[in-house]
Amino acid sequence: MKKGTRLIHSDAAWVTWDDVDWKRKEIIVRGNPETGTKNSEIRRVPILPDMEKLLTRLKEKIGTQATGRIMKVSECGVALARACKEIGIAKLTHHDLRHLFATRCIESGVDIPTVSRWLGHKDGGALAMKTYGHLRNEHSQAMAQKVKF
């Protein structure tokens, strides 16, 4: 996938049906077949319950021909821009969705080192803490209610 002369890394775009490990409930992320993932390492990401429902629905729709890449859209920016325009909201990018995913995971109680691994970071969570460690005020207030002395 190219944008101008720059290669775009989008690990999700290269996930195939063969990468879905239904038994272990994991997705194997290999990245672009030529360049690999951003950090050149294959990783396993758990299939969240809503993702399992979506994958199951997609597989049922496709039937026995569930082979090849799962995502048929290769340039998510174009699809996202069109969808945002159609429903009348500000433009979103795939990085906005990445931030949303990480923030929702953290707010749901997933520890930062785990979220960091899911995102493909190799620093044990330092970047994730710096980037995604911010919390919405509502979440911050709810967490404050858990503190007891």
Block residue for tokens 């969570």 = 125
pLDDT in the model for residue 124:
83
Total structural domains within the chain: 2
Q: What's the rounded Cα separation, in Å, for the pair 22 and 25?
A: 5
Do 63 and 2 fall within a single domain? yes
What mean pLDDT is predicted for residues 51-72? Answer: 84
pLDDT in the model for residue 41:
79
* Of the candidates 35, 42, 41, the residue with the CA atom closest to the CA atom of residue 7: 35
Q: Count how many Cα atoms sit within 13 Å of the Cα of residue 109 in the half-sphere of its side chain.
A: 3
> Which domain covers residue 2, as residue numbers?
1-74
Do 104 and 138 fall within a single domain? yes
For the sheet with 20-21, list strands across it.
20-21, 26-29, 43-46
pLDDT in the model for residue 61:
87
Which is more confidently placed, 5 or 27? 27
Do 64 and 112 fall within a single domain? no
Helix (H) or strand (E) segment spanning residue 44: strand 43-46
What is the pTM (predicted TM-score) of this model? 0.67
Q: Would the pLDDT of 67 be above 80?
A: no
